[in-house]
Chain A
Amino acid sequence: MNTKYYKTWEQYRAEHPEIDEKQAKVMAPKMQGYEEMMFSFIMFLLM
């Protein structure tokens, strides 16, 4: 998606090289989950 308001986990990770592999594994589903929840909420507001 061409936007600065939604990031995939991979995009987020690229911007935060300090996150190590072990952390990344547990962070990824949670961080992506909240990103998806906000996307769904924003779209719901216009439907």
Chain B
Amino acid sequence: MTDVMALARERTQLFRDVIDGNIPKRVPIFVSFSIEFAIQYAGKNLMEAQWDTGQLEEIFDQICRDFYSDLLPVNAFRFPSFYRLLGARNFVMSSNGFLQHPEVEGLLQEEYDDFIASPYNCIIEKILPRIYTELDTDASTKALALAKAFKAFHDEMGTAIMIYGRLNQKYGYGDVNFFAGFTEAPFDFISDQLRGFKGISTDIRRVPDKVEAAVEAATPLMIKAGMQPFPSKYNATFIPLHMAPFMRTKDFERFYWPTFKKLVEALAEAGHPSNLFVEHDWMRYLDYLYELPENTIMRFEYGDPKLVKEKLGKKHIIAGFYPVSLLKTGTKQQCIDKAKELLDILAPGGRYYFDFDKVPITLDSVNVENARAVLEYVAANANY
């Protein structure tokens, strides 16, 4: 067996131990850098590299070479080609090469009944044409636009997956996948691109029954979207959580929680664990999160790690909390001390892997020397 294969087996075992509820040899590390960060770090042109995705192997290789992680530390899935081919309003590349996400309203308030009657029909007939201008045209033209975008999507994903496979082999990363599927909480789905932040905030006051019915109608779609091709306890469906921290608790209880819980439970029953990015501050909702199926992965952005460990740490898998902002503003020693502090709180008893509180988006959002030092510190010192 080559050294790299042995390394991959060891890293896989670290994560399998975490998932199996055993104490691993060391706290595993899984950090991820955005495609923008990676391109800037490699000194390449943002716009060119996102269109000419053949460049990404060399670009991602530099991240793998320079930043310690036990799983592949890059993951890109939004490419400009298919968004452009569809005339997207929801993801638009700016002149500096960043893919912006403007607020959009794919569903009008007066269309709730259509959505409730058949969410998928409504998506195809009303929502997509409103968000994607190339689908708001005659039937023949829109058929060709969709065909081109579908081809582009699978070409880009195919290129990316091949690159990931080669980098996994080259660097001996662990063989577990926390992004094996992708879906959203039903309320987030309705909020993000259908009604928008402003629209949904108004709706829960003016048409609460329709919001509740729409969220319920969306749930089977979100469950189906989150199913992975090959169920495994070591692979997870990624669910980024958005709206709950901005809601009143009584609204969360009515509109967000019931269908979100149903989603995570349905995925778990079908053999797909969920990997939640618990965005912003969910400390109000920890008792709810506890109710989710055992071994749900929860990567936290903000909040109290001690409270999370105490309330959730024996049932679920915890990650996150390490403030990316400190990597920008702190000294190297302060950054390492913060890692020590979090390890002291979160590592005991296992069920924990090290991650930042969010993905560094741009090169100037961190001091790369600090980021490297923290990752190397954890890799060398977080032994059980």
Chain A residues in the interface with B (C-beta under 8 A): 1-6, 37-47
Contacts and interface: CB of A to CB of B under 8 A. Distances in A.
Nearest to A40: B225
Interface string B359-373: 000000000000000
Given A1-B220, A1-B224, A47-B189, A42 B123 contact: yes
B103 to A, nearest CB: 14
Contacts of A2: 117-118, 120-121
A38 B132 CA distance: 16
Interface string B130-164: 01100000000000000000100110000000000
A45 B118 contact: no
B121 A3 contact: yes
A3 B120 contact: yes
A44 B132 CA distance: 13
Nearest to B83: A45
A28 to B, nearest CB: 16
A43 B128 CA distance: 10
Given A45-B86, A47-B182, A47-B183, A39 B189 contact: no
Interface centre among B120, B127, B154, B189 (most CB of A within 10 A): B120
Given A43-B225, A47-B182, A5 B86 contact: no
A46 B127 contact: yes
A45 B182 CA distance: 12
Interface in B56-89: 86
Nearest to A47: B184
Interface string B87-107: 000100000000000000010
A25 B184 CA distance: 34
Contacts of B194: 46
Contacts of A42: 120, 123-124, 128
Nearest to A4: B121
Interface in B298-354: none
Contact of A39 (B118, B121, B184, B224): B224
Given A1-B120, A2-B118, A46 B182 contact: no
30 contacts: A1-B120, A1-B221, A1-B224, A2-B117, A2-B120, A3-B120, A3-B124, A4-B121, A5-B120, A5-B121, A37-B154, A38-B150, A39-B224, A39-B225, A41-B150, A42-B123, A42-B124, A43-B221, A44-B225, A45-B131, A45-B132, A46-B106, A46-B127, A46-B128, A46-B131, A46-B192, A46-B193, A46-B194, A47-B182, A47-B192
